[in-house]
């Protein structure tokens, strides 16, 4: 018993040590970025962030003040000449990101929840083939579809609109959402839906009153993934919103404009990174208790 207990303790220490190394490898760069965000550009150029604690009086909020108060600029053509127009500040870009992100999360959840329920609990011809096609869509890269979809948007008038971005993010979020929800709904006992059918409930009532409440962990897990993906997206916003005009840029576009074409004001990126992280962190920690459950849904049978 003594040798067995000793071996168990040693294995625990080894596993915990490895996990600690992984945690430190992730936290250290983030800590460095956080400390650097309170330093001046001269201090950044002279020494590394780990030396900043020698003189904490040199810490400053200047980077955050510039990020939160600096305005962006754009121009338009009036009467044959170009005039500059002041764009929105960071607060407007923050609201624009919310305008893009919230529908881009809600749309795939609504559609995929119905699809996952149909694939998991209803029997119809071609069900497995259709579900296989949905799963196959997971491997389609976003980048290869940007130009063809942009051309289609230009023809139908969706280029430069939030609706076009909602549809794009929603379409590419559907396969993952359907897959996660299918795995979770498949684990719900058939006896629950059969009892509801015997009591006179139709499929829609079963879906709304039983399946959706029971599927909250999976819904929350996908919501976190989709929210982070859309919130941090720059490529799709640049492609579909570049011609939308001043005042419509999202947060990632706004932060890009702070740096400029030739890398000026690069020191603001450290503060801007943490400003953009605030809302995703709130979302993650508020839904954290559902996250692991949603990810493990369907991984174990019985």
| pLDDT 10s digits, 116-169 | 998 988 888 888 899 889 888 888 888 888 999 999 999 998 888 899 999 999
Secondary structure of 62-82 in HEC code, one letter for each residue: HHHHHHHHCCCEEEEEECCEE
102/202 same-domain check: yes
Within-domain flag for 72 = no
Same domain, 35 and 113: no
> In the prediction, which pLDDT does 301 show?
46
99 and 53 inside one domain: no
User: Which residue do the tokens 């609706």 mark?
Assistant: 163
77 lies in a domain? no
**Contacts by residues 193-198 (CB-CB < 8 Å, ≥ 24 positions apart):** 193/121
Contact between 279 and 224 under an 8 Å Cβ cutoff? The reply is no
- Pick from 12, 40, 60: which residue ends a domain? 60
Confidence (pLDDT) at 167: 93
- Kindly state whether residues 53 and 193 are assigned to the same domain: no
151 with 292, same domain: the answer is yes
Same domain, 54 and 132: no
User: CB neighbours of 248 closer than 8 A, spacing ≥ 6?
Assistant: 96, 160, 162, 241
Tokens of 293: 């459950």
- Give the pLDDT confidence of 100-115 residue by residue, as tens digits: 999 999 999 999 999 9
Separation CA 100–CA 94 (nearest Å): 10
User: Considering the domain boundaries, does residue 28 fall inside one?
Assistant: yes
* Integer Cα distance of 181 and 185 in angstroms: 6
Residue 79 lies in a domain: no
**Residue 159 DSSP SS3:** coil
CATH at residue 278: 1.10.3720.10
255 occurs within a structural domain: yes
Residue 206 to residue 200: CA distance in whole angstroms: 10
Read off the tokens for 26: 């992730």
Does residue 156 sit in the same domain as residue 261? Answer: yes
Cβ atoms of 164 and 240 closer than 8 Å: yes
Considering the domain boundaries, does residue 181 fall inside one?
yes
User: Which residues are registered as beta bridge partners of 34?
Assistant: none
Range of the domain at 14: 2-60
- Out of 60, 76, 104, pick the residue that ends a domain: 60
Task: Tell me which residue has tokens 């929210």.
Answer: 227
60: Cβ contacts below 8 Å, ≥ 6 apart: 38, 39, 40
Query: What is the model's pLDDT at position 2?
Result: 57
Q: Are residues 10 and 55 in the same domain?
A: yes
Whether residue 106 sits in one domain with residue 160: yes
- How many folded domains does the chain comprise? 2
Considering the domain boundaries, does residue 71 fall inside one? Answer: no
Highest-pLDDT range among 3-7, 55-59, 161-165, 275-279: 161-165
> Quick check: 122 and 102 in contact, CB under 8 A?
no
99 & 33 share domain: no
Q: Is residue 65 part of a domain?
A: no
What does the pLDDT read at residue 109? 92
Same domain, 53 and 175: no
Domain shared by 22 and 109, yes or no? no
User: pLDDT tens digit string along 7-21?
Assistant: 777 888 888 889 899
């Amino acid at each position: 018993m003594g040798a067995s207990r000793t071996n168990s303790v040693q294995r625990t220490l080894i596993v915990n040590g490895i996990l600690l190394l992984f945690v430190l490898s992730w936290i250290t760069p983030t800590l460095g970025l956080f400390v650097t965000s309170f330093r001046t550009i001269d201090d950044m150029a002279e020494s590394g962030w780990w030396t900043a604690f020698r003189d904490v009086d040199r810490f400053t909020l200047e980077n955050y003040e510039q990020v939160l108060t600096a305005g962006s600029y754009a121009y338009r053509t009036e009467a044959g000449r170009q005039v500059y127009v002041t764009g929105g500040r960071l607060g407007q870009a923050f609201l624009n990101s919310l305008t893009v992100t919230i529908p881009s999360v809600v749309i795939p959840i609504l559609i995929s929840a119905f699809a996952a329920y149909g694939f998991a609990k209803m029997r119809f011809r071609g069900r497995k083939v259709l579900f296989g096609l949905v799963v196959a869509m997971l491997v389609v890269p976003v980048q290869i579809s940007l130009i063809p979809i942009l051309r289609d948007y230009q023809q139908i008038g969706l280029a430069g609109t939030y609706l076009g971005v909602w549809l794009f993010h929603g379409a590419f979020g559907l396969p993952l959402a359907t897959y996660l929800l299918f795995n979770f709904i498949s684990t719900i006992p058939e006896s629950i839906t059969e009892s509801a059918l015997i009591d006179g409930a139709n499929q829609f009532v079963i879906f709304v009153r039983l399946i959706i409440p029971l599927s909250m962990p999976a819904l929350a897990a996908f919501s976190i993934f989709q929210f982070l993906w859309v919130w941090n997206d720059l490529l799709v916003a640049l492609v579909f919103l570049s011609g939308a005009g001043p005042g419509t840029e999202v947060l990632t576009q706004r932060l890009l404009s702070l740096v400029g074409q030739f890398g000026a004001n690069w020191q603001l990126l450290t503060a801007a990174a943490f400003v953009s992280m605030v809302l995703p962190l709130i979302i993650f920690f508020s839904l954290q208790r559902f996250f692991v459950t949603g990810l493990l849904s369907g991984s174990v049978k019985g």
